[in-house]
Amino acid sequence: MRGIAILAAAAALFTAQDAFAAGNAEAPKSVDWAHEGLFGTYDRAAAQRGMQVYREVCSGCHGLNYIAFRNLTEIGLTEDQAKVVAAEYTIVDGPNDEGEMFERPGKLSDYFPAPFENEKAARAANSGAMPPDLSLIVKARPGFENYLYSLLTGYGEPPENVELMEGMFYNPYFPGHQIAMGEPLGEDAVEYADGTKATVDQLARDVTSFLAWAAEPTMEARKRMGVKVMLFLIIFSVLLYAVKRKVWADQH
């Protein structure tokens, strides 16, 4: 009897934890990404548009600490184009010979600068919430790309029975449904250099493609290596089998 009670308690605890872990967030929408699957590669055009979205919209609040300007050649920018992007940022460098920090334009070896001096400043500007660095965000949330896309496109009016806290916005894909980030994307939030129509759906797809690359720039090399290893193993197995037949051919 006691055993059953303990089991029941354990089961209740587990289900409670499950519900908590999921934070009653809605399951993300399912989107087809060009970089999915064994042979998938990043859609360079989408990633470049996504970079534009990040730079013009998200970078006001979110850093991209782990991406250097030189990395941008990996999504198809030429080195000269990456230099132009870098030079549009002001980097604090130093100290110089007088011991002073100084400002200079960015260069290829610099990383995207953070939008706020420190965490306190970031929170003060965002009703107490901290906008996380976006370099690894796609890998850091269950649902990955689909979660980010759903979060960006999922804003809406709260249902009747939901009372929003001060400074919060309704988004069913966010655990708890209330997020301190206001809807960042609106129709034509950026004017795409390549003329693509900037619908909210398009903007969200593009910035997600860009951030998926940022979170795993070496994915394509990893997949290529995986395919090579599989090919090697297949050929090696065939050879081994042939050798085995040859060696045992006259042993009957």
Q: Catalog residues that contact ligand HEC under the rule CB under 6 A.
A: 53, 57-58, 60-62, 126, 129, 131-132, 137, 141, 148, 151-152, 174, 179-181, 184-185, 207
In whole angstroms, how close is the CB of 129 to ligand HEC at the nearest point? 4
Distances 240 to 231, 235, 236, 243 between C-alpha atoms, Å: 14, 9, 6, 5
Q: Which is nearer to ligand HEC, 28 or 83 (CB)?
A: 28
Of residues 119, 151, 149, the one with CA closest to residue 133: 119
In whole angstroms, how close is the CB of 161 to ligand HEC at the nearest point? 21
Token couple for 66: 């782990």
In whole angstroms, how close is the CB of 110 to ligand HEC at the nearest point? 21
- Cβ atoms of 115 and 59 closer than 8 Å: yes
In whole angstroms, how close is the CB of 226 to ligand HEC at the nearest point? 28
Q: Which residues contact 168 (CB under 8 A, 6 or more apart)?
A: 127, 178, 179, 180
Phi, psi of 57 (to 5 degrees): -115, -60
**Cα–Cα distance, 213 to 219 (Å, whole number):** 8
In whole angstroms, how close is the CB of 216 to ligand HEC at the nearest point? 16
Q: Which is nearer to ligand HEC, 108 or 189 (CB)?
A: 189
Q: Which is nearer to ligand HEC, 83 or 153 (CB)?
A: 153
Residues facing residue 116 across a β-bridge = none
Q: Which is nearer to ligand HEC, 82 or 148 (CB)?
A: 148
In whole angstroms, how close is the CB of 4 to ligand HEC at the nearest point? 39
Using CB atoms, what's the residue nearest to ligand HEC?
Answer: 58
Q: Which is nearer to ligand HEC, 67 or 179 (CB)?
A: 179
Q: Which is nearer to ligand HEC, 23 or 94 (CB)?
A: 23
First to last CA, the chain: 64
Altogether, the residues listed in the chain come to a count of 252
